[in-house]
Amino acid sequence: MKNCMALIVIGVTLTHASNLNLVTFDGAPGTTFKFIELNDPVMGGQSTGTWNVSKSYGVFDGQVNDVPSLKAPGFIKAAADGHFPDVSSAFGGSILLSVRSTTPGYKGFRITIAAGAASPAYSCGAGGSLPFSTGCFKAKYSVPAGNNFNTVRIPMTAFSDKWSSATGEHTKECKDDESVCLTAAKLKKIQRVEVWAEGALGKVHLEVQSISVEAPSQLVHALQEEDNDVTYLATFDGVNSTAFSWRDQNDPVMGGASTSSFQVKQDSSGKYGVFNGTCAIVSFLKAPGFAKITTISSALNDASAHINGSLQLRVRSSTPGYTGFRLGFGAKDVPKTSIFGGSSFKASFQVNSTDWQVITVPFASFSYDWSGYTGSCDTKDPGLFGHQHHCCSAAHPEVCPTSKFLATMTEVDIWAEGVKGDFHLELAWVRASN
């Protein structure tokens, strides 16, 4: 997972019983379809290809050559029409290809899925460049080398139904324009599936064992199985151990005027929480107050293995200039350091742009000794007996997180605090990482 939603993860050999099969070659009713091979037939195309079924997988073989009139590579493809399974429940997840190839270096592998097209064959030939030709969604992928079948994971956000019929390259990306994205409604009625070799010269050999669909929640745990360096703490994917409800709270005392709201939304990137509001001046203090959201939870996954690492959160914001964002977490027996402060760890973070991004906040930057007036650990409370707060450091290790606290985490908090202004933050997940 990264900022660019067109990330493709390859070389994964995990399988999940809950994946939804779209295409198989084992004779199973509902997922076994007849594929027809087609070469670049127009403008003097000279590419050649074949499609056969051997044992329980399809075999796509051929050569992509230049189209003389275009002076550019053409294509070969294999297409199947039919009534495909409804996979809308996996919206926001990934398309999985179980494949192997003797030409893993070939750079033109692509797949198209027609859904909601007026004419699937016409749409998959024009790519949205002609009238009434939208509805055929294309994505590129790479195949890892090896003799065994490997799973290639293509996020649904890597697909677009606006692409060049000459090159296969996208003319609009899903991350930039949601109108070209796959939707849950379209995934209910898939009409056509195509396997392509396009836009790159060379020999092609691809064996396809299956095409299936993976829900976003499966992706979270598949990636965690692949990479033991992360532990997910809060998500919006429905997984019982991480998908919590959240409570929204504003500065209620001393004339606090901050306002905020929290809701869960879903788009082509999956489900996420939306924290929106205004951090306003507390009249009594003549200083900015706070708004925050907190998981309604009593125990989170054990993150003690990551004590030398960080907390990470995947976010995007329409107010990246707002400088009052803070990340916090509660844990069993965290000391309270003043009348309003403490009882949890807190650290600041900054959003860098309006795109999805992963923010890394080292555990060494968290402190439980923060001010209830400002949210900062490097400050002194106002008043004659104001408490001097301390950040985690070699001089004050007592305020730092420990493995014991990370093993007994109880909640995650997102704050907008200590800085006056409007804020908008969309949150996909929070995890601990090495």
CATH assignment at residue 196: 2.60.120.430
- Tell me: pLDDT of 145 over 60: yes
CA dihedral for 186, 192, 193, 196, sign (positive or negative): negative
Give the pLDDT confidence of 60-114 residue by residue, as tens digits: 999 999 988 878 899 999 999 999 999 988 888 889 999 999 999 999 999 999 9
Task: Name the residue with higher pLDDT: 21 or 239.
Answer: 21
Residue 170 domain-assigned (yes or no): yes
Quote the number of domains for the chain.
Answer: 2
pLDDT value of residue 373: 82
CA distance 21 to 87: 8
High-pLDDT (> 70) share of the chain, %: 90
Q: What are phi and psi of 218, to 5 degrees?
A: -65, -35
Residue 80 domain-assigned (yes or no): yes
High-pLDDT (> 90) share of the chain, %: 66
Residue 190 domain-assigned (yes or no): yes
Number of C-beta neighbours around residue 2 at 10 A: 10
H, E, C per residue of 321-381: CCCCEEEEEEECCCCECCCCCECCEEEECCCCCCCCEEEEEEHHHCECCCCCCCCCCCCEC
Residue 2 domain-assigned (yes or no): no
Q: Are 409 and 330 in contact (CB under 8 A)?
A: yes
Residue 184 domain-assigned (yes or no): yes
Tokens of 6: 């067109």
Q: Residue-wise over 200-225: b if at least 16 C-beta within 10 A, else e?
A: beeebbbbbbbbbbbbbbbbbbbbbe
Residue 148 shares a structural domain with residue 183: yes
Q: Pick the last residue of a domain from 168, 194, 217.
A: 217
Task: Name the residue with higher pLDDT: 178 or 339.
Answer: 178
Residue 67 shares a structural domain with residue 209: yes
- What are the counts of helices (DSSP H) followed by strands (DSSP E) for the chain? 4, 27
- Strand 190-198: give its sheet, edge to edge: 36-39, 75-81, 190-198, 109-115, 136-140
Give the pLDDT confidence of 159-173 residue by residue, as tens digits: 999 999 989 999 999
14 pLDDT band, cuts 50/70/90, is: very low
Residue 390 domain-assigned (yes or no): yes
CA-to-CA dists, residue 322 to 43, 356, 409, 413, 434, angstroms: 55, 16, 28, 17, 28
Residue 426 shares a structural domain with residue 280: yes
pLDDT value of residue 239: 82
Residue 306 shares a structural domain with residue 333: yes
Give one DSSP letter per residue of 228-253, joined into a string.
TTEEEEEESS--TTT---EEEEE--S
Mean pLDDT, range 206-213, rounded to an integer: 96
Average pLDDT of every residue of the chain = 88
Residue 258 shares a structural domain with residue 192: no
Residue 245 shares a structural domain with residue 175: no
CA distance 146 to 207: 12
Residue 147 shares a structural domain with residue 202: yes
Residue 195 domain-assigned (yes or no): yes
- Tell me: pLDDT of 217 over 90: no
Residue 210 shares a structural domain with residue 279: no
Residue 173 shares a structural domain with residue 74: yes
CA dihedral 305, 310, 311, 313 (to 10 degrees): -130
Tokens of 403: 């493995």
Residue 251 shares a structural domain with residue 399: yes
Q: Where does 168-314 have alpha helices with state H? A: 184-187, 216-226
Q: Which domain covers residue 18, as residue numbers?
A: 9-217
pLDDT value of residue 403: 96
- Tell me: pLDDT of 152 over 80: yes
383 pLDDT band, cuts 50/70/90, is: confident
Report if pTM > 0.75. no
43 pLDDT band, cuts 50/70/90, is: low
Q: Pick the last residue of a domain from 217, 245, 265.
A: 217
Residue 97 shares a structural domain with residue 57: yes
Residue 223 domain-assigned (yes or no): no
Residue 295 shares a structural domain with residue 163: no
Q: Pick the last residue of a domain from 185, 217, 249.
A: 217
